[in-house]
Chain A
Amino acid sequence: MGIAYPFSAIVGQDELKTALCVVVVDPGVGGLLALGDRGTGKSTAVRALAALLPKMRAVDGCAYACDPDGDDSACGDCPARARRGAKVKQVPVPVVDLPLGATEDRVTGALDLERALTRGEKAFEPGLLARANRGFLYIDEVNLLEDHLVDLLIDVAASGENVVEREGLSVRHPAKFTLVGSGNPEEGELRPQLLDRFGLAVDVRTPGDVAARVEVVKRRDAFERDRAGFVAAWKAADAKLRNRLVAARGRLAKTETSDAALARAAGLCMKLGTDGLRGEIALVRAARALAAFEGDPAVTDAHLRRMAAPALRHRLRRNPLDDTGSTARIERALAETFGA
């Protein structure tokens, strides 16, 4: 796929970058949706993430890259492998692209056609969901995805398990992944059911000032002229960020969330009238991941404030009598809850 643009070299887009780091620190936040105009670097940021992520330990030979230390979510074969003493290897965290043209059988996995044709055997060939296990599933132009694939993804994202019942096959395997989507809402609306499954949603805009734009063009141009050199120049910055992410993951369990912070989050969600509890959970988890990322011992109002818009803006019920955008409504509720 060539060399990806370095994450640290992305100009501006702070909300997007922070949100990506937050879902890396705590995958439990539940995925990220980046909506915005064309040419604002949504895809660039997500693709850059793949190069940034630290490697993970996985059972050698497992199609689902099961965690050798985790036992609750292993695939059907891994307990047997563990008894035989399977090797463990370091693998890169998968960032799997779901191309728009993908057929359902490639997404869920299907009958291995080759073995069926040559040997008359029934065997399962894992698909993209298997490959994305423990990593990221990236869908560019998620709003143009065909409905039946959307339904399927909603289902798997919610259960963390992919169940295949087709062509006489009956297979279930772990499929825990962080869903990352990007798209331009002007080209097609996203269905509300899918919208709600994303933990965070970010609006990506073109930088307003000319200086920032000049910087964008300059860096991109330097990258295109000498990819290897450009990546080398940013290697140190990316390594620093990677270490920060690893440290934050270690700190996450110890980062405290006080009852007061929980009450604040609940109050905010009630004021905004978000449907269900998913918004509150996403907000609290995102705030905690942000605190861990920034090295703070506990979740404070500042963390909640910063994560409120990305965690809640896509969950507000559209009020036809109120023209103000979601972000503005959240700002208002924030000011009321936390004081100006």
Chain B
Amino acid sequence: MSAIPDPAWARALLAARLLACDPHGLGGARLAGPPGPARERWLAELRAHSPAGAKLRRIPARIPDERLLGGLDLEATLAAGARVARGGVLAEADGGIVLIAMAETLPPATAAKICMVLDAGTATAEREGVSSAAPARIGVVAFDEAEPDETPLAPALRERLAFDVDLAGLRVADAPPLEPDPMDQAASAPAADEATIGWLCAAAAALGVDSARAPLFALRVARALAAREGVGRIDAEHARVAAELVLAPRATRLPVDETPASESPPEPPSDSAPPDAGPPDESPSPDTTEKLDDRVLAAATAAIPPGLLARLQAGAAGRVRGAGGRSGGVGKSGARGRPAGTMAGDPKRSGVRLDLIATLRAAAPWQRLRATSAGEPDVSAPRVRVHHGDFRVRRLKPRAVSTTIFALDASGSSALHRMAEAKGAVELMLAECYVRRDRVAVLAFRGRGAELALPPTRSLVRAKRALAGLPGGGGTPIASALDAAAELVAGVRRQGGTPNLVVLTDGRANVARDGTGGREAATAQALDAAKALRALGARAVLIDTAARPSPDARALGEALGALYLPLPQADARALDRAIKAGLG
């Protein structure tokens, strides 16, 4: 037990206490980290400080909509012979907190529904003949157990939760003992003064936090802190702690090192920020005579979790990817995935699931008719007569398979000595794809054109053989290679897969589409082809295999919208790591 409480723990537990007292106002918290004692400790804090009788409900991430928002209670409906609605869990938890386990697997549509409820404070359901609205002033605690290379919690939901707590790496032994907090029954919250709002907004702008929700949450936290202490106004310390708790985890950039005041002369707040006066990123205007925003900022900066910025950079590179994440795309029908509508059909067919309510609804109007036409006053006759034509099935969209396409520069300029490294990296990736059941394809280009060395496959053996047999030497026909890659990308998309593209080249195009030499035409064509490929929206990584980082390869990467990785001294393992980071 350490005498001085761990600051990370102190922050995490303070968030729990604040959330327990104002779940709906603060939206909730994202709790990153694996399940374990640290999480239990945090939850214990949350429970201990929740008002008596406050509800805490656990829901699974794959909860069906009718349970989440409410719908028809089929059993009660059939028993009563009249429609009976059943409230959803979000409405049942009104005034309390909903805990979502494995929140990273929350389907985007479910996350969007929870967001809707958080915004409105009401759970609205429009399904299965039921139209209902029930108060649901809830807070959400989302357990995000995503590994670094997995998709984390849906950003729309994360944005609506005031706190982002990283419990990974925290040990329970370092946590302060659980004790009751006499300040839970807070006095009435003080009004916000202009200066506090100014500090928080300036700090948010300096940290690159765009959403208006962040400073609002921070303000709410600052006010709650002041109320807990029973002081009548928000002071610097409250703003500082609020920035640490709310703004720091949302930072998208580090503020510039120099104090903002030294860069721009202090001005009165009224005209400090003329509308649309340049980007606010470099010069958060000093809105206040006290230099408090510096302190708020410093506190927030100090609390930025390690590794966040590295992750942000990877995220920014991935922005061009559009809709197709590794598991984002949806493919043809299957037995797993999210619902894609209900239709008449045979429930025994593969890839569909019986929709019981829709089936009963289809059968319902015919019951009298069927009973009379059957004409059997038999006691054993079924109470509900369901015919084959009544069956309704739910189609489901499964997650799409990713296909990673390697476009390998096998030309003479890209130097035969680098081919070995490139091949090594591809082999490592192959092993990885094999584990994930992803598919790979290899496109080699040299001389006058590109050649599909390996059509999309899951076979590790075939891929290795194809790589081993790749010849090298000749010109660099980048335009043709990218055209071929575009065709492949479009093909993968057509089959419902999600394409990823890895281009390994030095970017020195010298063979035009028609096979003739000439650097100028070849380069122009290569850039055009890259832009056309980019429009297809596949995620891409360009690995510069030149001896020194080459401007050609960089330009090509930009045209592709790809993550550019100059790896002059790379070995196969470094390449593999880089590719994973870029596509992950």
Contacts and interface: CB of A to CB of B under 8 A. Distances in A.
Interface string B328-339: 100000000001
Contact of B341 (A100, A104, A117, A211): A104
B370 to A, nearest CB: 10
Nearest to B202: A210
Interface residues of A, number: 66
B201 A122 contact: no
Contacts of B323: 188-189
Interface stretch (B9-17, B120-128, B346-354, B438-446): B120-128
A206 B211 CA distance: 7
Interface stretch (B77-85, B413-421, B490-498): B77-85
Contact of B212 (A40, A101, A140, A321): A40
Most A Cβ at <10 Å: residue of B83, B212, B342, B367: B212
Interface in A103-124: 103-107, 110-114, 116-118, 120-122
Contacts of A103: 126-128, 342
B82 A117 contact: yes
Interface stretch (B54-62, B111-119, B241-249): B111-119
B535 A208 contact: no
A221 B341 contact: no
Interface string B271-302: 01111110110001101000000000000000
Given A104-B342, A213-B204, A118 B81 contact: yes
A211 B198 CA distance: 8
Interface in A193-238: 206, 208-214, 216-218, 220-221, 224-225
B127 A101 contact: yes
Interface string B519-534: 0000000001001101
B535 A320 contact: yes
A146 B156 contact: no
A321 B368 contact: no
Nearest to B192: A221
A37 B192 CA distance: 26
B155 A221 contact: no
Interface in A248-294: none
Contact of A210 (B68, B116, B284): B284
Contact of A186 (B72, B319, B341, B534): B319
A184 B319 CA distance: 13
Interface in A76-124: 97-107, 110-114, 116-118, 120-122
A39 B129 contact: no
Contacts of B542: none
B5 to A, nearest CB: 31
Contact of A38 (B127, B211, B216): B211
A39 B126 contact: no
Interface residues of B, number: 85
Given A38-B211, A218-B194, A120 B277 contact: no
A167 interface: yes
A172 interface: no
Contacts of B358: 105
A167 B361 contact: yes
B160 to A, nearest CB: 8
Contacts of A1: 120, 122, 133
Contact of B159 (A39, A121, A206): A39
B570 interface: no
Given A106-B128, A209-B280, A214-B287, A117 B108 contact: no
Contact of A120 (B159, B210, B280, B368): B368
Given A106-B127, A210-B198, A218-B194, A100 B212 contact: no
Nearest to A319: B535
A37 to B, nearest CB: 6
Contact of B210 (A37, A114, A140, A209): A37
Nearest to A320: B535
B138 interface: no
Contacts of B277: 208-209
Nearest to A145: B109
Contacts of B387: none
B341 A99 contact: no
A114 to B, nearest CB: 4
Contacts of B322: 189
B236 interface: no
A206 B250 CA distance: 15
Contacts of B201: 210, 213-214, 217
Given A210-B284, A218-B197, A101 B109 contact: yes
A214 to B, nearest CB: 5
A38 B210 CA distance: 9
B438 to A, nearest CB: 22
Nearest to B137: A2
Given A111-B361, A218-B197, A209 B212 contact: no
B408 interface: no
B210 to A, nearest CB: 4
A39 B161 CA distance: 12
B98 to A, nearest CB: 16
A332 interface: no
A210 B280 contact: yes
Most A Cβ at <10 Å: residue of B154, B200, B273, B339: B273
B197 A217 contact: yes
B516 to A, nearest CB: 22
Contacts of A140: 112, 116
Nearest to B371: A120
Contacts of A113: 72, 77, 83, 128-129, 361, 364
Interface string B359-372: 00110111111000
B19 interface: no
A28 interface: no
A146 B337 CA distance: 13
A110 to B, nearest CB: 7
Given A118-B82, A146-B340, A210-B287, A318 B535 contact: yes
A192 interface: no
A241 interface: no
A311 B342 CA distance: 35
B407 to A, nearest CB: 18
A43 interface: yes
B205 interface: yes
Given A213-B201, A213-B204, A217-B215, A101 B113 contact: yes
B212 A144 contact: no
Contact of A117 (B65, B81, B211, B531): B81
A26 interface: no
Contacts of B364: 111, 113, 116-117
Interface in B209-230: 210-216, 219
Interface of A: 1-2, 37-41, 43, 97-107, 110-114, 116-118, 120-122, 125, 127-128, 140-141, 144, 146-149, 167-168, 184, 186-189, 206, 208-214, 216-218, 220-221, 224-225, 318, 320-321, 323
25 contacts: A39-B159, A97-B124, A99-B125, A101-B69, A102-B127, A103-B126, A103-B342, A106-B127, A117-B82, A120-B368, A120-B369, A140-B116, A168-B365, A186-B155, A187-B156, A188-B108, A188-B323, A211-B285, A213-B201, A214-B194, A214-B201, A217-B215, A218-B192, A224-B25, A321-B528
Interface of B: 25, 65, 68-69, 72, 77-78, 81-83, 108-109, 112-113, 115-116, 119-122, 124-131, 133, 154-156, 159, 191-192, 194, 197-198, 200-202, 204-205, 210-216, 219, 269, 272-277, 279-280, 284-285, 287, 319, 322-323, 328, 339-342, 358, 361-362, 364-369, 528, 531-532, 534-535
Given A167-B362, A209-B274, A321-B531, 15 more contacts: A2-B120, A38-B159, A97-B124, A99-B124, A105-B127, A111-B361, A113-B77, A114-B83, A140-B112, A146-B339, A148-B340, A206-B210, A210-B280, A214-B197, A318-B535
